[in-house]
Amino acid sequence: MGASDAAARIAGLADECVKCGLCLPHCPTYALDATETESPRGRIALAAAAVAGTVPASPDLRLHLDHCLGCMACERVCPVPVRYAALLVETRAALAPARPRPHALLGVLSRPRLLRAMAAGARWTLARHWAPPLARAWLPEDSALRAAAGLLPVLPSANPGPASPSARAARGRVALFGGCVQGVFERDAQIAAQRLLQAAGFDAVRIDDRCCGALAAHTGDADRARHLGERVRAAFEGSGAQTLVTATPGCLGTLRAALPGARVEDASGLVAAHADVLSFRPLEARVALHLPCTQVNVARSGDALQRLLARVPQLKVQVLPTQAQCCGAAGSHMLEFPQRAAACRGKLLATLPNPAPDLLLTSNIGCRLHLAAGLRENGSSLAVEHPLTLLAKQLDA
């Protein structure tokens, strides 16, 4: 697609907005800044003006677009609905970034094998102890590398073993998408999802060492996003599965865009739909449930996950508020805009119940790491876990 075609496409998407403002009360960045340019309506107007040439496509203009968390709460409540996700991705691809992107760091994150090797090196050198204070001493507060170093203390120390092979497959075959960051640092959730799917009657095979392309798409690298999407499509077609499943809803929208003719589902929703054959052991505990933006607004499986957790006897679940709330992780946002991400996180952590729960649950790896880092900074020992990991532990075989 040429520049003129992209401009026409963006203008058409922007023209869908009727400027009613119903999205504003649901936008986390509007709640944070209370300015029109940090709202969906304002960003749509900026995108339209930039491609029309009526406003210079300056770094300041692009910065407002980059501040967007991509939570898609606006799309969920829009009466039209405006295709805001497509507009955001295409505008970021068409305009120059406001400031240099941390390409090397983002490149590592989207290459699971390289990321796994570097994680092993970090464990071997005990980097979790010396890298964060060194980064704080030598790097500026808005440094992506400093933000990445701050996550080292909350990274899992080791990966669990593989799940047991499927015993029956009455419901057909599904392919469980491993992904990049979650495939390396959230293997417990991947194995838990596979175990639950198998218990529900699916033959669950794995697609590992693939990135869906979300990081590339959301930062404006459309060519790399397409390339990664093609790799996922080829792996899925070779799996023999009828459905592609992800345990991390942050990948869901990008996977659906890459496989428009395939069935792509959130693991929590699919397990919940077949939970009648599952039985769980009691767990006397209080947990706080954080529903990631993509689970509420894209996967729309938040209610299904709550029903699934309700099947665990004696488990008490308190759901954290979601309207205009985002933890700030938002893919690479917590690395590229660490101060803004921390402000969003602080607002969310302030909603935790008092007294503190026994566990905080969240199903997005970015949210899990970002929230864990914030809790650690606050001196809290509250553990953060994927809901499917808890459910798999309580599964009555």
Tokens linked to 240? 């023999």
Domain boundary among 61, 94, 127: 94
**386 plus 284 within the same structural domain:** yes
Give pLDDT, residue 156: 82
**Is residue 295, in this structure, part of any structural domain at all?**
yes
Query: Is the pLDDT confidence value at 331 over 60?
Result: yes
**324 plus 386 within the same structural domain:** yes
CA 289/CA 41 separation, integer angstroms? 30
**Is residue 216, in this structure, part of any structural domain at all?**
no
pLDDT band of residue 15 (cuts 50, 70, 90) is very high
Domains of the chain: total: 3
pLDDT band of residue 103 (cuts 50, 70, 90) is confident
Domain boundary among 94, 114, 135: 94
Q: Give the residue, 1 or 247, on which the prediction is more confident.
A: 247
CATH number of the structural domain spanning residue 191: 3.40.50.20
**269 plus 282 within the same structural domain:** no
**Is residue 64, in this structure, part of any structural domain at all?**
yes
Give pLDDT, residue 165: 55
**293 plus 347 within the same structural domain:** yes
Q: For residue range 350-367, what is the model confidence (pLDDT) as tens digits?
A: 999 999 999 999 999 999
**305 plus 268 within the same structural domain:** no
CATH number of the structural domain spanning residue 374: 3.40.50
**85 plus 11 within the same structural domain:** yes
**Is residue 61, in this structure, part of any structural domain at all?**
yes
Tokens linked to 324? 């205009």
CA 344/CA 303 separation, integer angstroms? 23
CB atoms near residue 148 (< 10 Å): 20
pLDDT band of residue 170 (cuts 50, 70, 90) is confident
**262 plus 363 within the same structural domain:** no
**240 plus 309 within the same structural domain:** no
Query: Is the pLDDT confidence value at 168 over 90?
Result: no
Asked if 285 and 316 touch (Cβ cutoff 8 Å), the reply is yes
**Is residue 132, in this structure, part of any structural domain at all?**
no
**Percentage of residues in the chain having pLDDT higher than 90:** 87
CB atoms near residue 372 (< 10 Å): 21
**287 plus 390 within the same structural domain:** yes
Give pLDDT, residue 159: 60
Give pLDDT, residue 99: 80
Average confidence (pLDDT) over 316-338 = 95
CATH number of the structural domain spanning residue 47: 1.10.1060.10
158-162, 290-294, 390-394: segment of lowest average pLDDT:
158-162
Query: Is the pLDDT confidence value at 164 over 70?
Result: no
**Is residue 323, in this structure, part of any structural domain at all?**
yes
Query: Is the pLDDT confidence value at 169 over 70?
Result: no
67-76, 98-107, 289-298: segment of lowest average pLDDT:
98-107
**284 plus 268 within the same structural domain:** no
Average confidence (pLDDT) over 64-91 = 94
Provide the domain limits for residue 198: 173-209+227-273
Helix segments in 58-186, DSSP class H:
59-66, 73-77, 84-94, 103-109, 112-124, 127-138, 144-149, 181-185
Query: Is the pLDDT confidence value at 76 over 70?
Result: yes
Give pLDDT, residue 97: 82
Q: Which amino acid is at 331?
A: G
Give pLDDT, residue 100: 84
Does pTM top 0.85 for this prediction?
yes
**388 plus 292 within the same structural domain:** yes
**Is residue 373, in this structure, part of any structural domain at all?**
yes
Average confidence (pLDDT) over 31-51 = 95
53-62, 117-126, 143-152: segment of lowest average pLDDT:
53-62
Q: For residue range 264-309, what is the model confidence (pLDDT) as tens digits?
A: 999 999 999 999 999 999 999 999 999 999 999 999 999 999 999 9
Domain boundary among 243, 258, 273: 273
CA 88/CA 95 separation, integer angstroms? 11
**Is residue 222, in this structure, part of any structural domain at all?**
no
Q: Say if residue 56 is exposed, middle or buried (CB neighbours under 10 Å; 0-12, 13-18, 19+).
A: exposed
Give pLDDT, residue 161: 56
**390 plus 282 within the same structural domain:** yes
